[in-house]
Structure 1
Amino acid sequence: MADDKTKRGPADSSRINVNEDYEVAYWTEALGVSQDKLTEAVNSVGTSANAVREYLNK
């Protein structure tokens, strides 16, 4: 089954995919950070949404 690109939220809410524009838009708004900060967090701790939240809340 192909991804439905019209959906605005992440396909897997426990993971952050910074390679999909709609996921970046969702996560930057949900976490209140810039795209650069989101990418930095994912590069530092991986794609786990919980790990990224913890990183950003330090």
Structure 2
Amino acid sequence: MADNRNDTGSPDRDRISLSEDFEIRDWTESLGVSEERLREAVSAVGNSADKVRAYLNK
């Protein structure tokens, strides 16, 4: 299913999608990490933004 860039409600902010370039760019900037590090974190803990933040802050 295509992601609607105009729909930025809570579910969109709670999950990290690696299938859209703009989402990868936004999350890497927001979290201050490289794309490689973001992909590593999502692979390790899933796409929950809270879990990815916790993983990156270890």
Normalised TM-score (structure 1)? 0.83
**Count of residues in correspondence between the two structures:** 55
* Matching residue of 2:34: 34
Q: Deviations over 1:7-57 (max 9, x none)?
A: 5x7870000001110000000000000000000000000000000000000
Identity %: 53
Distance 1:3 1:55, change over 3 A: closer
* Matching residue of 1:19: 19
Tell me how large the CA RMSD over aligned residues is: 2.1
Normalised TM-score (structure 2)? 0.83
Gaps of 5+ in 1: none
- Structure with greater proportional helix content: 2
